[in-house]
Structure 1
Amino acid sequence: MHSCKIYYSYYIDRLSQSQLDELIFSLPFVMQGKAFAYRRWEDAHAYVLGRTLLRHALDGSDYKLTDIKYSTRGRPYIHGVGDFNITHSGNLVACSLTTHGRIGIDIEMHQPLKMTDFTPQFTAAEWHYIHQHAAPTTSFYDHWTAKEAILKADGRGLIDDLSSLEVSNFNQVILDNITWYLHRIDQFPGYSCQVATDHPNQQYSFIPVKFPL
């Protein structure tokens, strides 16, 4: 059984500028520039904390943030680590790290929305499942995060036609002849979270991280 660790942190309170700067200056120079470019403090926090979680996850290994490379599609990876993926929504940021294969993680905070605005993004079967669910909004976000987790693991990011990716069974989905295994994470109340991997039987563990470190 392969190991998957999910490092996560809530940032309900805004870090002081000195605390944020300390985290920023601990990142590689290129990441520092990206962090300072954000106008909204929430976006800056999400970016910096996500990369800091990854740095924390790499502690004790032979790898550092400077070892990050990018695929032709712009997907970050570190050769030899296994795989990692970062996500954030609301006041929550998470970094998943697996010892084997590919991984994608997506988190979405539950909030009111007009579901009809997203009609083209789901199949008729998916909409039936969503509307028949006891909590349709939660089911909507479960479907959405499942799609995004697969696309993030695959490396292509969002696609124009999300309805072409059917996730109704929530177990496994085939995309371009690759089978992706979905795992719903119920660790975060008020959020939907899905993890997609190309290997089954992942053993999940959760590591909370409080900032400032």
Structure 2
Amino acid sequence: MAIPQVQIFTARFDDAWPAEMLERALALLGPADQAQIRRFRRWQDRQLRLVGRLLLRQALPAYGLAAEALWRLQREAGGRPFITGAPAFSIAHAGSRAVCAVGDGVTPGIDLEPLRPLAPADLALALAEVERRRLAAQANPAVELLRLWTQKESALKACGRGLSLDLRLVCPQAGRVAVAGVWYELQTVVVDPAYCCCLATAGPATVRLTEVPLAILLPPALL
């Protein structure tokens, strides 16, 4: 049996887009997505979510769907997005970068965080006692803390439960973690040296990473 594959598409931006460019890019999305994105006050948050959706739009034709299938995006009861007839996918965004993982024969969960100073106390409610002790023993726990957080959240996204479960009960060990009775494989994905990124899948999966320039992500008329 072939090992399932996950394609990860990623893109970043450096500056705020002109208002006209933002509006024309939003027009590529369905009304519900447009309304959700417009509710964010910070331009960074609006663009991050828009780029995440555009990455999914870029990926759909490779799986036999028109880009406009993005308009059919719905959410499960637990909050996980899906498109009927499309493969399972997961989107994450942080800083100035977005990622979209699309699974072929597997349901992916992905999370992304920029590397930054962080102390275990900042995420105390998400850490089990054994995790807090392990982090306290490290001279610089920030990177390990972010790695641990992305592992937990990516597994919850693959499970479809989001942050509805107690993160203290989700304890990654040796590249695996159990969530709701299912074991998930955890893979570190180097999308950018300034970020920590983790992919979770219920079983082994190969990974193909593609950096998508904005010149490809956006139609020429928008640039």
TM-score calculated relative to the size of structure 2: 0.87
Contact 1:126 1:167 in 2 (8 A): no
Match of 2:46 in 1: 44
Match of 1:199 in 2: 203
Amino acid of the structure 2 residue aligned with 1:121: A
Amino acid of the structure 2 residue aligned with 1:191: Y
Change (3 A) 1:47 1:117: closer
Candidates 12, 18, 22, aligned match of 1:10: 12
Structural mapping, 1:172-187, within 5 Å: 172-187=176-191
Amino acid of the structure 2 residue aligned with 1:50: G
Deviation at 1:116, TM superposition (A): 2.0
Match of 2:65 in 1: 62
Structural mapping, 1:31-110, within 5 Å: 31-60=33-62, 61-62=64-65, 64-110=69-115
Where 1:181 maps in the other structure, the secondary structure is strand
Partners of 1:189 and 1:44 in 2: how far apart?
24
Deviation at 1:77, TM superposition (A): 1.2
Candidates 115, 123, 131, aligned match of 1:126: 131
Contact 2:156 2:179 in 1 (8 A): no
Partners of 2:50 and 2:144 in 1: how far apart?
30
Where 1:112 maps in the other structure, the secondary structure is coil
Partners of 2:143 and 2:122 in 1: how far apart?
16
Deviation at 1:134, TM superposition (A): 6.4
Match of 2:163 in 1: 158
Where 2:214 maps in the other structure, the secondary structure is coil
Deviation at 1:90, TM superposition (A): 0.6
Deviation at 1:107, TM superposition (A): 0.4
Stretch of structure 1 that moved more, 116-125 or 147-156:
116-125
**Is 1:20–2:22 an aligned residue pair?**
yes
User: Would you say how many aligned residue pairs link Structure 1 and Structure 2?
Assistant: 211
TM-score calculated relative to the size of structure 1: 0.91
Contact 2:4 2:106 in 1 (8 A): no
Partners of 1:191 and 1:70 in 2: how far apart?
27
Amino acid of the structure 1 residue aligned with 2:88: D
Where do 5+ consecutive residues of structure 1 fail to align? none
Residues 35-64 of structure 1 show CA distances to partners (whole Å, capped at 9, x for unaligned) of 222221011101111111100010242251
Partners of 2:187 and 2:165 in 1: how far apart?
24
Deviation at 1:148, TM superposition (A): 0.4
